[in-house]
């Protein structure tokens, strides 16, 4: 016969054993790699860093308190300001980090609030915050 069988002279039953040789070979290679690389993970390069003592500089923004009462009077930091002098007064207080905290009475017309905000923006104050109170507080 020209074609032979791999199972010549043996039994025709399948092999019931697991060949563990390739598994052991792979595990031994992984173990060797782990043994070689594990000590390298703990080594650090010694670097002599310079020691400097510096203080952190905190620049607090200038806060301008602007209030509008029910009669449309404008108060800047507690002082009454006439409508015409508002722009010049805000111009003197304006800066790159200036914040405007705006308090308006409940009865103040929105038109007056919008005019004050437009004036503040025109003189260069870009950060405007509305100050409110929690409900139930006097």
In order, the DSSP letters of 72-93 are --EEETTEEE-TTTHHHHHHHH
Helices within the chain (DSSP H only): 21-41, 86-93, 110-123
- The pLDDT, as a whole number, for residue 101 is 92
Whether pTM > 0.75 for this model: the answer is no
- Which tokens is 39 given? 């000590």
Length, in residues, of the chain? 138
- The pLDDT, as a whole number, for residue 114 is 92
- The pLDDT, as a whole number, for residue 32 is 94
User: How far is residue 52's CA from residue 54's CA, in Å, rounded to a whole number?
Assistant: 6
- The pLDDT, as a whole number, for residue 16 is 75
- The pLDDT, as a whole number, for residue 138 is 61
- The pLDDT, as a whole number, for residue 29 is 95
Query: Which stretches of the chain score pLDDT less than 70?
Result: 1-11, 137-138
CA distances from 39 to 26, 30, 44, 81 (A): 21, 15, 11, 74
- Give just the sign of the alpha carbon dihedral 9, 15, 17, 19: positive
Measured N-to-C along each axis, helices 86-93 and 110-123 cross at an angle, to the nearest 10 degrees, of: 50
- The pLDDT, as a whole number, for residue 8 is 60
């Amino acid at each position: 016969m020209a074609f032979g069988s791999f199972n010549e002279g043996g039994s025709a039953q399948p092999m019931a054993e697991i060949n563990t040789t390739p598994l052991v070979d792979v595990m031994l290679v992984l173990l060797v790699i782990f043994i070689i690389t594990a000590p390298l993970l703990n080594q650090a390069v010694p670097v002599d860093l310079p020691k400097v003592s510096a203080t952190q500089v905190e620049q607090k923004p200038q806060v301008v308190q602007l209030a509008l009462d029910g009669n449309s009077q404008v108060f800047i930091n507690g002082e009454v300001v006439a409508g015409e002098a508002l722009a010049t007064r805000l111009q003197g207080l304006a800066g790159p980090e200036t914040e405007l905290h705006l308090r308006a009475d409940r009865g103040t017309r929105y038109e007056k609030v919008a005019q004050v905000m437009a004036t503040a923006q025109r003189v260069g104050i870009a950060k405007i915050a509305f100050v409110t109170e929690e409900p139930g507080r006097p």
